[in-house]
Structure 1
Amino acid sequence: MDGDSLTRMGLTLGLLLGLPGLMLVLMRRFGVRLPGQPSAAARLAVVSRLAVDNKHSLVLIRRDSHEQLILLGPAGATLLEADAQRSAAEREEEERQQVEREEQVAASRAALKTVLQRLRTGSASEAPPPQPQRPSFPSLVEGARPPALRRHLDRAA
């Protein structure tokens, strides 16, 4: 092995190891999701899975607001129930949670927008932060003094 073949082998090895790494970096940079990674707005979820026997299992899948009951086996998948019934309370709870999430996102966006506007205009540095007001309880403070201290303060006054 001479120096030329060692150099070629090193460059080939670097190319073979560098290309997958470069592809991964580019995929992350441009937001390409890899299989198996959950998305932010997942519309599909496996609610539950039940093994019937060694070869068959029942799967309850939720897509948006619909649920499907599917039997999986060696012959394939069979749709048993197209829209499995959920109770009205479950649907209302899910809708309420969705509305709460949307409200939280909207409130967060509004707060972020005001902070960004303040930072852009420079008004955040001009206005001093509000100072908390301390409550004063002179009657409680006077009553909390021990009697000997009260007598001493009365003589000094």
Structure 2
Amino acid sequence: MDLDTYFRFSLALVFVIALFVVLALVLRRLGYGGAMATPSRQRRLHVVEVLPLDTKRRLVLVRRDDAEHLLLLGSNGDLVVEPAVRPSFRDALTAAAGPTPPTAPPTAQTMAPATGPAAVEGPAGSEGTRP
């Protein structure tokens, strides 16, 4: 191999590396490379879930600190659908139900076990025997 071949190989290598750098800059410009700036334990913002609605719009659930926000992202603009989504479904149900009424302690009649095979109720309140 002569010197001309080595020069061509090194020039091709520099060209390929330059293509990778340009590709990395374009991807970073489009928003695909900025997540590596902060370590994961210092992040306060995190995407919980993404739901594509159609080709131009999607719903994004974002958690910031301990609050979740529902965003509608689209080509016409972005919209905050719900600024403070409850962190869990169970919390949302308890908040929607309001205060729970106090329950009566169980009585001896409700705690007594059923005796015998004839104590099984069938459909529509008719008593039957266990098979």
So what's the TM-score if we normalise by structure 1?
A: 0.34
In terms of Rg, which structure is larger? 1
Structure with the higher strand share, 1 or 2: 2
Question: Which of structures 1 and 2 has the larger relative contact order (alpha carbons within 8 angstroms, sep 6+)?
Answer: 2
So what's the TM-score if we normalise by structure 2?
A: 0.40
